[in-house]
A and B are shown apart, each in its own frame.
Chain A
Amino acid sequence: MNARPLLSGLGGIGLFLGLWQLIIGSGLIEYDFLPSPWAILGGLWAMLGDREFYEEALHTLAATLGGWVIAVVLGVGLGALLGSSTTCRRYSLASVEVLRPLPAVAFVPLALLLFGFSLQMELLVIVAPALWPSLINTMEGFAGVPQRLSDVAASFRLSPIERLLRIDLPAAAPSVLVGLRLSLSLALVMSVVAEMVGNPQGLGYGLVREQQALNPERMFGYVLVIGLVGVCLNAILVMASGWILPGQFRRPQAGWDTP
C-alpha cells in the first residue's frame, strides 16, 4: 500500500477540522448550534463519562446485530430457494420486485402501532428492509452457479446436501457475502431511524434527545460515534470476507447503499 493517499487523506481531515475550528473559534460565523470541533470533542468526552451512553451504544449494537441475524437467516434462506429453482423465481420474482422498493421508514408507524415503543418494533423496522440485499445477492449468487459445476455435481452423484455444501454454497459465497455486508450497514441505518422516531433507546434516541435539549456538542458527539460504529462494522465484515474467501474476494465499496 502506498502511504501517500493515507497521509494526504489525514491531512485533508486535519485541514477540514482546522478550518472549521478557525471559523467558529475566530467568531467569523457566530452560530449557536454549530460548535467547533474542539467543543464537540469536549461533548464526546463528557458523554464517555456517562453510564447511559454505554447502555445506549450496547442497545444499538444489539438491535443492529439481532435484526441483521434475522434478516440474514430469512434473506439467505429465501434467496437460496429462489436462486436454485427457476420455477420458484418465475412465480415470485415479480412480488419481490414490487415489495423491494417499499421505503423502509414507512414501516415505522406500522411497527409502532403493532408493538408500541419496544425492541420488537425496532426489529421489524430493521428486518423489513435489511432482508432485501441478502435475499437478492444470495439469489443472484445461486442462480449464477455455472452450468459446468452443476454437471460436475451430477456426474459425481452428489446428494442434494453434499451438492449444496460443496458446490452451490462456495460458488455463491462471494455474492452472498456482499449481500450480508450491505444488509449489516442497512441494519445499522434502520436501527438509528427506529430509535430516532420510535423506540426511545439507543444511540439514535440519544442523538435526538441532545438535539431537542439544544445541546449541539453532545449531538455531534453522537453523530461521530454512530459514524465510527458504521466504519467498524463495515471493516469487520470486509476483513471477515477476506478471511473466508482469501484471494478471490474483490474489495467491494463500503457503505450503506442497496444493490
Chain B
Amino acid sequence: MNRLLPAWVGLAPLAAVLVLWQLLAPANAPNFPPPLAWWRAVVTLATNGSLLPAVVETLWTFALGLFIATVAGFALGILIGTVRAVREWSGLLLEFLRALPPPVVVPIAALMMGFSPSMKLTVIAVTAAWPILLNTVAGVQAVPALLSEAARSLHLSWYRRVRHIVVPASVPALLVGLRVAVSLAIVITLLVEIFTALPGIGVLMVQGQRNYNSAQVFGLLALVGVLAYALTLMFAVIEGVVLSRWPPRVARR
C-alpha cells in the first residue's frame, strides 16, 4: 500500500519531462503540443458540455460492470473451488479461456447484441469477472485443510462451513483478482467506446484523433491517466480497510 502513496520526490522525472516539454515545444506543435495546450483543450471540452456526460457515462458503466463482475465472479469461483467435480470438469475449459485475450469478447458481443449500452455492460462484466473468478478458485483451494476439519469437529453444516470458513478465507484472493479486474475493466470500457462509438471518454478521444486535434488527444490521455490512478488509489484504500482484519502476512500479498 505504501507503494501507492510514495514520497512526492519520486514524481520528479515526470514533472521534469512535462516542464521541459512545455518550455521546449512550440505552442502550435502539430503532433506534440505542450501540456498547457492539453489543459486548454480539456477545458474547452468541459465548457462546451461534452466532457462531463462522457466521464459520467464511462465511470458509471465501469462501476456497474465491475460490480456485476465481482458478485458473479466470486460466486462462481466459490462454487468451482468448493465442488471438486465442477472444478475438474471445467479445468481445461477455464485454462483455455484464461489464455484468450479479453478484447476478443468485444466483436463477439457486438455481433450478437449490436451496439447497445447493455452490450457494453455485458462485455465489461464478462471480461472483468475472469480474474476475480480465477483468483477466487485459487483462494478456495488454498484454504488450510485444518480449518475445514476444525469446522467439521464443531458440527458446522456444509452451508455454514462455506459461509463462515471458505468465503471469508477467500476474500484476500478475491481482492488480488479485483485489483487486476479494476485495470482490465477500465481498458475494456474505453475499448468498447472506441470500437462502437457508444458515448464515453473513448469517443471524445477518437473525435480528437479524427479532427487532428492532438491537444485534445493528449489532454484526454492525461485525464484518463488521472482517473485510472485515482481509481487504483481508491481501490488500494478499500483493500487496506478490508484486509485490516487479516494477518499482515496475508494482507501484504
Other A-B contacts than A33-B111, A90-B10, A196-B195, 7 sampled, CB-CB below 8 A, are A91-B9, A92-B12, A98-B14, A103-B228, A113-B217, A189-B101, A231-B96
Partner of A12, one of B12, B91, B190, B208: B91
B19–chain A nearest beta-carbon distance, Å: 13
Interface size class of A (residues with CB under 8 A): 35 or more
Given the contacts A112-B209, A189-B102, A227-B99, A90 and B9 also touching, CB distance less than 8 Å: yes
Interface residues of B in 93-118 (CB under 8 A from A): 93, 95-104, 106-108, 110-112
B109 to chain A, nearest CB (A): 10
Q: How far is the CA of A8 from the CA of B94 in the complex (A)?
A: 13
Contact between chains at A94 and B221 (CB < 8 Å): no
Taken together as a complex, chains A and B put the C-alpha atoms of A106 and B194 apart, in Å, by 9
Known: A90-B7, A94-B6, A103-B190. A211 touches B111 (CB 8 A): yes
Asked if A216 is an interface residue, CB under 8 A from chain B, the answer is: yes
Partner of B191, one of A89, A91, A197: A197
CA distance A185 to B180 in the complex (A): 14
Closest to B221 in A: A106
Chain A residues with CB below 8 A from B93, complex form: 9, 12-13, 16
Contact assessment for A98 and B229 in the assembled complex, using a CB-CB cutoff below 8 Å: yes
B175 CB to nearest chain A CB (Å): 14
CA distance A257 to B98 in the complex (A): 9
A13 and B92 in contact (CB under 8 A), knowing A95-B12, A257-B180? Answer: yes
Q: Are B190 and A106 closer than 8 Å at their CB atoms? A: yes
Chain B, 1-33, CB within 8 A of any chain A CB? 3-4, 6-14, 31
Q: Is B139 part of the binding interface, using a Cβ–Cβ cutoff of 8 Å? A: no
Q: Are A106 and B205 in contact (CB under 8 A)?
A: yes
B186 in contact (CB, < 8 A): yes
Report A-chain residues with C-beta under 8 Å of the C-beta of B102: 189, 256
Distance in angstroms between the alpha carbons of A6 and B103 in the assembled complex: 28
Minimum Cβ distance to chain A for residue B198 (Å)? 13
Contacts of A95 in B (CB 8 A): 10-14
Residue of A nearest to B235 (CB): A101
By Cβ-Cβ distance, the 9 closest A-B pairs, closest first, are A94-B10, A9-B92, A12-B89, A94-B6, A95-B14, A109-B209, A230-B99, A211-B107, A227-B100
Across the two chains, which residue of chain B brings its CB closest to A31?
B112
A208 within 8 A of B: yes
Minimum CB–CB distance from B211 to chain A (whole Å) comes to 10
Which residues on the B side are within 8 Å of A220 (C-beta)?
Answer: 108
A204 to B187, CA, bound (A): 16
Residues on B with beta carbons closer than 8 Å to the beta carbon of A102: 221, 224-225, 228-229
Interface residues of B in 168-202 (CB under 8 A from A): 180, 183, 186-187, 190-191, 194-195, 202
**Contacts A109-B194, A255-B98 hold; do A101 and B228 have CB atoms under 8 A apart?**
yes
- For A136, give the chain B residue with the smallest CB separation: B3
**Contact yes or no, A101 B89, CB < 8 A:** no
Look across to chain B and name the residue whose beta carbon is closest to the beta carbon of A231: B99
Interface membership of A173, Cβ < 8 A:
no
Are B100 and A101 closer than 8 Å at their CB atoms? no
Asked if B68 is an interface residue, CB under 8 A from chain A, the answer is: no
Q: Mark A129-144, 1 if CB is under 8 A from B, else 0.
A: 0000000000000000
Residues of A near B190 (CB, < 8 A) are: 103, 105-106
A-B contact pairs, 17 of them (CB 8 A): A9-B93, A12-B89, A91-B12, A94-B9, A94-B11, A101-B228, A103-B224, A109-B217, A110-B217, A110-B218, A113-B217, A197-B195, A204-B103, A211-B110, A227-B101, A230-B100, A257-B131
CB pair A94–B92 under 8 Å, yes or no, is no
Chain B residues with CB below 8 A from A258, complex form: 180, 183
Counting CB contacts under 8 A, is A176 at the interface? no
- Verify if A241 is at the interface (C-beta below 8 Å from B): no
| A101 & B229 in contact (Cβ 8 Å cutoff) | yes
- Please tell me if the beta carbons of A253 and B138 are within 8 angstroms of each other in the complex: yes
* Chain B, 69-86, CB within 8 A of any chain A CB: 85
Residues of B within 8 A of A13 (CB): 92-93, 96
